Amino acid sequence: MADDASIRPARDLSIPRHDWTLEEVEALFARPFMELVFEAASVHRRWFDPNEVQKSQLLSVKTGGCAENCGYCSQSASFKTGLKAEKLMEPTAVIAEAMAAKAGGASRFCMGAAWRELKDRDTPKLAAMISGVKALGLETCATLGMLNADQAKQLKEAGLDYYNHNLDTGPEYYAEVVTTRSYQDRLETLQHVRDAGMSTCCGGIVGMGEKRRDRAGLLHALATLPVHPDSLPVNALVPVGGTPLGERVLKEGEIDPIEFVRTVAVARLVCPKSMVRLSAGREGMTPEMQALCFLAGANSIFVGGKLLTTPNPEEDDDAKLFALLDLKPMPLKIEARA
């Protein structure tokens, strides 16, 4: 006769949970690859149309000269990367770029600034950009470094839908990546963003020399947040010459593409209702690799020929990719939250 354990139905992986343990997340990474991708693809279908991919477009509205020392970043003033620092763009110029992004098929426009934290003197200009972009009928996103509670409220009032603030890696590897801020600093800004009623965009970077345990640590941190990120960007490190982590990867080689796909699949499993974004690094990925990522649950990308400071596939390349894989752009809707 069957004992209790064998008749108990297997846990439904598609229901969002916030009580993941690190060991459980590591166990997902260790699943046979075919099983892992199949399970992630099944969960993806439970919440989303697997043929739909959402498109966001980035613009660097304040480039370079950043006070943080993130070891991967072209924009940190701590490293000689050859990038020219620029001042904050004028709202009219930003709105013109957003119009072009909309014409190119983007449904969300993300404004990025190379700041450690937002300064109150810059908020009016940011608010003008945000409300102008919102008035075009685009979803708005910004990534401006740390925010306090008041600043988060002001950005929300200006019409900001999403705030991007990445945890980047697992807590144990964090100090190898950046020392000018802490994991706790990041978590506090995310709390202010949620308290202000904005949606969160929060993920990390894969391929910085971290171990699988650190990738599991990142996804564990995201899956145990009070609210799962609405968008979860999985970036592949774009190695930038002159940055410590970029130089290291240029010397030691990039992460195994299959391990990257595993990370996407585990992200889909631990945050089943999040939009998982195949983010930086697509420029170096074959169509086959991107297809595997979409199969494993990625359902969002950055479009347009440039990310913030580095190249991204051009509109024509992505049109070909979508045609090849029978993908269609996701219609505009505010995403479900876990």
Is 141 one of the annotated binding-site residues?
yes
Tell the smallest beta-carbon distance from residue 166 to ligand SF4 (Å).
8
Point out the catalytic residue in the list 70, 202, 271, 293. 70
237 binds, among ligand SF4, ligand DTB, ligand SAM, none (CB under 5 to 8 A by kind): ligand SAM
Check binding of 162 to ligand SAM (CB under 6 A): no
Point out the catalytic residue in the list 186, 277, 282, 293. 277
For the four alpha carbons of 266, 270, 275 and 280, in that order, the dihedral sign comes to negative
Residue placing its CB nearer to ligand SF4 in the complex, 53 or 126 = 126
Check binding of 238 to ligand SAM (CB under 6 A): yes
Is 293 one of the annotated binding-site residues?
no
- If we measure between CA atoms, which residue out of 180, 176, 202 comes closest to residue 189? 202
Q: Is 64 left (phi over 0), alpha (psi -120 to 50) or beta?
A: left
Tell the smallest beta-carbon distance from residue 307 to ligand SAM (Å).
8
| DSSP classification of residue 254 | P
| DSSP classification of residue 130 | H
- If we measure between CA atoms, which residue out of 160, 144, 148 comes closest to residue 198? 160
Check binding of 160 to ligand SAM (CB under 6 A): no
Burial class (CB in 10 A: 0-12, 13-18, 19+), 123: middle
Q: Which residue has the tokens 């929300």?
A: 156
Point out the catalytic residue in the list 108, 194, 201, 215. 201
Contacts with ligand SF4, residue ranges (CB under 6 A):
66, 68, 70, 73, 75-76, 114, 116, 145
Report strand pairing: 162-164 vs 199-201.
Answer: parallel
Stretch of 40-48, 95-103, 210-218, 302-310 contacting ligand DTB, by CB under 6 A? 302-310
Is 277 one of the annotated binding-site residues?
yes
- Footprint of ligand SAM on 72-101 (CB under 6 A): 72-73
Q: Is 271 a catalytic residue?
A: no
Judged by DSSP in three states, 232 sits in strand
| DSSP classification of residue 54 | E
Q: How far apart are CA 138 and CA 141, in angstroms?
A: 10
Report strand pairing: 199-201 vs 139-143.
Answer: unpaired
76 binds, among ligand SAM, ligand SF4, ligand DTB, none (CB under 5 to 8 A by kind): ligand SF4
By rule CB under 6 A, what string of x and - marks binding of each residue 209-248 to ligand DTB? ------------------------x-x--x----------
CA quadruple 268, 271, 273, 277: dihedral, nearest 10: -50
Among 203, 246, 304, 313, binds ligand DTB (CB under 6 A): 203
Provide the terminal-to-terminal Cα distance of the chain, rounded to the nearest Å: 39
Instruction: Give, for 134, the enclosing helix (H) or strand (E).
Output: helix 123-134
- Cα distances from 249 to residues 17, 60, 71, 256, 286, in angstroms, run 34, 24, 11, 12, 19
Is 268 one of the annotated binding-site residues?
no
165 binds, among ligand SAM, ligand SF4, ligand DTB, none (CB under 5 to 8 A by kind): ligand SAM
Q: Specify whether the CB–CB gap between 96 and 136 falls below 8 A.
A: no
Q: Is 202 a catalytic residue?
A: no
Residue placing its CB nearer to ligand SAM in the complex, 98 or 240 = 240
| DSSP classification of residue 306 | B
Q: Is 293 a catalytic residue?
A: no
- Footprint of ligand SAM on 239-298 (CB under 6 A): 240, 280
Residues that bind ligand DTB (CB under 6 A): 58, 74, 110, 112, 143, 164, 166, 203, 233, 235, 238, 279-280, 307-310
Residues assigned a catalytic role: 66, 70, 73, 110, 141, 201, 277
Residues that bind ligand SAM (CB under 6 A): 72-73, 112, 114-115, 143, 145, 165-166, 168, 205, 235, 237-238, 240, 280, 308
